[in-house]
Amino acid sequence: MQSLLSKAQGLGSSSVKLRGGSLFMNVGKSEKQEEDFRQTPHVNINPFTPDSMFLHNSEGKCRRRKRIHWNDSCGEDMEPSDGEPEEETMRPAKRITITESNMKSRYATEFHELEKIGSGEFGSVFKCVKRLDGCIYAIKRSKKPLAGSVDEQNALREVYAHAVLGQHSHVVRYYSAWAEDDHMLIQNEYCNGGSLADAISENYRNMRYFTEPELKDLLLQVARGLKYIHSMSLVHMDIKPSNIFISRTSVPSITLEEGDDDDWSSDRVIFKIGDLGHVTRVSSPQVEEGDSRFLANEVLQENYTHLPKADIFALALTVVCAAGAEPLPTNGDQWHEIRQGKLPRLPQVLSQELLDLLKVMINPDPEKRPSAVALVKHSVLLSAAKKSAEQLRIELNAEKFKNSLLQKELKKAQMAKAAAEERALFTDRMTTRSTTQNRPSRLIGKKMNRSLSLTIY
C-alpha cells in the first residue's frame, strides 16, 4: 500500500541510490540519453517548493553539478558518502498521474465513514474516524475520475500547496493524499463548526447577522492566514465563505488547583482557510480563476502583477457576506459597481471606520489595497487583535478575581464560624461558673465551732 507521490519508480536500481531521504543519480559519461531518461525515478515536482525552480529550469537538458543535494524531510542537507563521483546529473522528474498512484482501498481499510458533511464542484467531503488513532478527519474525494483531466491538475495543486504550507492556526491542516480508482482523496483536519457559508446560511434563516466585533474577528483571523500564505510566496485565489472553515474549541472558564478538573464551558471560534485548489505562486503564476463573485477585476483582465491583493479583495467581500448582504452577483451592473469600489448594501449599521476599511480593500487600484501584513496591524482591528491575543488572559484574570472573592468569602465564613465557636465556648464557661457559685458552700472559720483536741498524759 502506497500513498500518492510517495514511491519513486525507476528501471535502473543500480543507478539510483536513496539514503536518508536524499536521492543521488550516478550516470556514466558513455551512457545514452535514452538509458538515462529511463533510469530517472518517477516522482512529482512540487512547484511551490524552492527546489522546483532549479528542476524546472533544467528541463530538456542535462546539467553537470557538483554534489547535488535534496533536503530531507527534516530540512538537513544530506552529504554523499566518500568515494562517490564528484560530478552527478539530475534530470527533471516525469509527473506521476493519478492512474499510476492507484492502490487498494486505503479509505475503507484505514477509515470508518461517519457522515457526508459537504459537497462542491470538486467532490464530496466525509467525516471519518481513523481506525488506528481514533481521531476524526475530513476526507475529500473527487466526484469523478481525474486521471488525464484538467481537474487532476487542480487536485495535485491542492496537495502541493498543503504540503508546503505545513501547519498554521488559520489554515486547514493537511495530513495525506492518495488515489483510488482514479479518484483523488485528501485527508485534512476536521473543523467541527462547518464552513463560514454554512454559518451565514444559518444566520439568514434565523434573521441575524455577524455582529461588528465578530466581523472584525473574522477579518483579522483570515488576514493572519493570508499573511502566512503570502509569506510563502503563494496566493490562494479563491477566498470566499465556503472556503473558510470554523473550528470551535472549548476554553477553561475556571482555573482550579493543579490536579483538579477544569470547568470547560466557553467556546472560542477559530477561522481557517481551506480548499487550496487554486493556489499559485506569486512569481510566474499559473492562475486558475476562482468564483467570479469574489474575483478582482485585474485578475479577469489577466493582470497578475498584484496577485496577493486579489485575495484581499475577496476577503472584503467575504466579510460583507457575513455582515448580511444579499448574495453577490456573478455579473451585470452590480458586479461592475463593486469593482468600482462600491460596497453592497448591508442590512445592519456598521461603524464608519470598518466600512472605510472594507472600501479600501476593494479599491479598483490593487496597489491601494492594504496587504495582509498591514491588515493584521490595522487600527480598526486593533481591538479585535487585543481581544484575540488576550482573550484567555482576560478570562483567566476574571476567574482569578472571582476566585479571590470566593476565597475572601470563605475566609469570612471561617472567621465567623471560629467566632461563633468561641462565643459558644465562652457561654459554656460562664454557665459552668454560674452553676458553681450558686452551690451551698461550707465555710471554714467565722462562727464555726472549733474542735479542740486534748492529749492527756
Which CATH number is 134's domain given? 3.30.200.20
Instruction: Please give the pLDDT value at position 445.
Output: 53
Do the annotations mark residue 260 as ligand-binding? Answer: no
pLDDT at 144: 72
Q: Does 419 fall in a domain? A: no
Structural domain includes residue 421: no
Task: Give a yes or no: residue 75 inside a domain.
Answer: no
Among 388, 418, 436, identify where a domain stops: 388
Domain identity same for 172 and 208? no
**Does residue 285 have a pLDDT over 80?**
yes
pLDDT confidence band for 120 (50 / 70 / 90): confident
On whether both 171 and 208 belong to a single domain, the answer is no
Same domain, 168 and 122: yes
pLDDT at 266: 52
The more confidently predicted of residues 20 and 378 is: 378
118 marked ligand binding residue: yes
Q: Is the pLDDT assigned to residue 140 strictly greater than 60?
A: yes
Residue 426, annotated as binding a ligand: no
Task: Please report, for residues 22, 121, 416, 431, 433, the alpha-carbon distance to residue 419 in angstroms, rounded to integers and kept in the order given.
Answer: 78, 75, 5, 18, 21
State the average pLDDT for the chain: 76
Q: How confident is the model at residue 288 (pLDDT cuts 50, 70, 90)?
A: confident
Same domain, 252 and 163: no
Angle at 257 between CA 254 and CA 260, to 5 degrees: 80
Q: Which pLDDT does position 378 carry in this prediction?
A: 93
Percent of the chain with pLDDT over 70: 64
What tens digit of pLDDT does each residue of 402-439 get?
777 878 888 888 888 888 888 888 777 777 766 666 66
Residues 299, 303, 306: CA angle, nearest 5 degrees: 85
Looking at the domain assignment, is residue 115 inside a domain? yes
**225 within domain boundaries:** yes
Categorize the per-residue pLDDT at 174 as very low, low, confident or very high, splitting at 50, 70 and 90: very high
Final residue of a structural domain among 189, 214, 235: 189
Q: How confident is the model at residue 286 (pLDDT cuts 50, 70, 90)?
A: confident
What is the per-residue pLDDT for 457? 52
Rounded Cα distance between 418 and 14, Å, is 88
Q: Do the annotations mark residue 148 as ligand-binding?
A: no
Task: Please tell me whether 119 is known to bind a ligand.
Answer: yes
**Phi and psi, residue 99, nearest 5°:** -60, -40
Which pLDDT tens digit goes with each residue over 59-81?
544 444 443 333 333 334 444 44
Provide the pLDDT confidence category of residue 136 given band limits of 50, 70 and 90: very high
Helices (H) and strands (E) in the chain, counts: 12, 13
Are 181 and 227 part of one and the same domain? Answer: no
Three-state DSSP class for residue 1? coil
Q: Are residues 219 and 304 in the same domain?
A: yes
Confidence tier at 183 by pLDDT (50, 70, 90): confident
Whole-number pLDDT of residue 15: 37
Shared domain check, 384 and 242:
yes
Structural domain count, the chain:
2
Q: Are residues 177 and 203 in the same domain?
A: no
Statement to judge: residues 124 and 270 lie in one domain: no
Give the pLDDT band of residue 309 (cuts 50, 70, 90). Answer: very high
Question: Is 432 part of a structural domain of the chain?
Answer: no
| Spatial separation of the C-alpha atoms in residues 317 and 163, rounded to whole Å | 28
* Closest to 200 in 3D by CA, of 294, 329, 324: 324
pLDDT of 20 reads 38
Domain of residue 151, residue span:
100-189
Q: Does 395 fall in a domain?
A: no
Share of the chain above pLDDT 90, in %: 43
Active site (annotated) includes residue 333: no
The answer on whether 243 is annotated among ligand-binding residues is yes
- Is the pLDDT score of 158 beyond 80? yes
**Are 67 and 88 in contact, with CB atoms under 8 Å apart?**
yes
- What value does the mean pLDDT take over residues 118-138? 90
Q: What's the rounded mean pLDDT across residues 256-284?
A: 72
Residue 45 assigned to a binding site: no
Residue 302 cell numbers, joined: 489577466
* pLDDT reading at 275 higher than 70: yes
Nearest to 115 by CA among 194, 183, 4, 204: 194
Question: pLDDT, tens digit, for every residue of 197-206?
Answer: 999 999 999 9
Catalytic residue among 151, 182, 217, 238: 238
Residue type, 62: C
- In this prediction, residue 222 has a pLDDT band, given cuts at 50, 70 and 90, of very high
* Same domain membership, residue 380 and residue 272: yes
Q: Say which residue, 249 or 456, is predicted with more confidence.
A: 249
What CATH number should be reported for the domain holding residue 271? 1.10.510.10
User: Can you state the angle between helices 382-437 and 212-231, rounded to 10 degrees?
Assistant: 120
- Residue where a domain stops, chosen among 365, 388, 411: 388
**Per-residue pLDDT tens over the stretch 3-12:** 333 333 333 3
Q: Is 151 annotated as a binding residue?
A: no
Residues 298 and 373 in one domain: yes
Asked whether residue 176 is assigned to any structural domain, the reply reads: yes
Greater model confidence, 254 or 106: 106
List, in order, residues 6 or more apart from 183 with CB less than 8 Å away.
98, 123, 141, 142, 144, 145, 146
Same domain, 250 and 368: yes
Least confident of 46-55, 228-237, 348-357: 46-55
pTM equals 0.64
The reply to whether 140 sits in an annotated binding site is yes
pLDDT digit string (tens) for 324-372? Answer: 999 999 999 999 999 999 999 999 999 999 999 999 999 999 999 999 9
